[in-house]
Chains A and B, each alone.
Chain A
């Protein structure tokens, strides 16, 4: 059982506060660190990994400090976000080097490469790898010493759907084995599919924590705004407002469109096409007008 404790941690760079008084405990299983870009996720992960000192507060792994403590890496595996990784080596040479730095040998490296299913390309230079292959070799290098804590910074960035599924499967397995796995992401769906527990960071603050269903509800229950253009805006507006899933409709004359506020996301998205068909109205544009992550997250902070 490995527990990572973050106690009242803040980190600032000059006048900029990147992480603001965060307290959380990360235990066994898969935890997703969710937040928009620039929220402070990487700063927090860097402090968790011992690559950055907190300005105040402390980060400990089972009671031992992480900062300036090289021995802690016997228990931590790290998958950094940055791409660079000794591209002149082959995948196998890279993982073997990582194993040796842990005092292990080729056997451990072979096992790690097998775990990420990279044996088929292990003798190719890393410079020839695709993004997904690099990610898997990074993963192998982090797993080589069988760590109890795995930290991954935006591991799914740039991966194709198949690679994404493979990595998710692997991380899920790690979590089921009782390891403490923490990964960061700015994509809700990724976190939802994988993490049993979610920590949300917005603008350096700890915005929410808990079960993904709770957080999903917080996110989907907020009013959704849509911009809709159709062959008959007023008839469509009249039909929609009759349903309780819609709380307000504005006819925007300058845009030539309807601005609709929906309170029940699921029901509204089913209702709109149905109403249009029944009324013989053609839908020309349906676009969510506040789906940017920032607005989703800022709603969450307010909740």
Chain B
């Protein structure tokens, strides 16, 4: 199910100079904000939860997920170099699964690690807030990577759709329409975080069992469908 060569090619494409800079920019911003906030207002649990929930989990994690998830396959399909993977006796679902693992790992490293660091800076993990949001970021990384990898497989405009989903659906609709929150990776991740933190500072609109089932279903479903799409991917038609 996992092909080390596909993984190596994906890592190197994802962590190429330009993309790595983009991937590194938001985490850096988070750390800078955290240092500034800590400097101005001292260690405050509520402020820490606001920064981690409002910026790290709501904005940074999905955007990193978009960049890593779509970037793991989209550019290869766009420029046609995916032909070198497809013209091999390697099962297409294996290619997708391997790319998913890489996308998850990259999203986790660039979103969960800075979330933990930011949390420690903000309030030294008081009330388990840093760890709770880090777990949320880890969980969300898996689902985002799967969803955006699928987007990268089915459309050339994956980054646009991904950003629209991440920013409009998750951030805007989520705050306006309560029903939309049930269908939000962010809320599912928060449900897990709530369990970890245990207090009132981290809350979700979705119950933990629902969240876990939806997370698993979306991740598995998106990965399976991406594998199917890759099996019938058409590279022609530019004549």
Contact = CB atoms under 8 A, between A and B. Distances in A.
Contacts of A41: 239
A97 B89 contact: no
Contacts of B234: 46, 51-53
Given A70-B89, A97-B8, A86 B239 contact: no
Contact of A40 (B8, B92, B239): B239
Given A84-B80, A89-B12, A38 B90 contact: no
B41 interface: no
Nearest to A147: B87
A122 interface: no
B231 interface: yes
Contact of A71 (B79, B89, B236, B238): B89
A100 B231 CA distance: 20
Given A80-B80, A82-B80, A88-B12, A49 B237 contact: no
A80 B85 CA distance: 12
A100 B88 CA distance: 10
A46 B79 contact: no
B171 interface: no
A38 B239 contact: yes
Contact of B236 (A46, A86, A97, A98): A46
A185 interface: no
Chain B interface extent, by class: 20 to 34
A186 to B, nearest CB: 12
Interface residues of A, number: 36
A85 B87 contact: no
B83 interface: yes
A101 B88 contact: yes
B84 A42 contact: no
B136 to A, nearest CB: 33
A200 to B, nearest CB: 17
Nearest to A52: B236
Interface string B36-70: 00000000000000000000000000000000000
A247 to B, nearest CB: 37
Contacts of B154: none
Contact of A68 (B80, B87, B232, B238): B232
A102 interface: yes
Given A84-B79, A86-B13, A43 B5 contact: no
A100 B89 CA distance: 11
B155 interface: no
A18 interface: yes
Nearest to B236: A46
Interface of A: 13, 18, 38, 40-43, 46-47, 49-53, 68, 70-74, 76, 78, 80, 82, 84-86, 88-89, 97-98, 100-103, 141
29 contacts: A18-B239, A38-B239, A42-B239, A43-B236, A43-B237, A46-B236, A49-B87, A51-B83, A51-B233, A51-B235, A52-B234, A52-B235, A68-B231, A70-B89, A72-B89, A73-B89, A80-B80, A80-B83, A84-B79, A84-B81, A86-B13, A86-B84, A97-B8, A98-B84, A101-B3, A101-B85, A101-B89, A101-B90, A141-B84
Given A43-B236, A98-B88, A101-B89, 17 more contacts: A18-B239, A38-B239, A40-B239, A42-B239, A51-B83, A51-B87, A51-B234, A52-B234, A73-B88, A73-B89, A82-B79, A82-B80, A86-B9, A97-B5, A101-B5, A101-B88, A102-B89
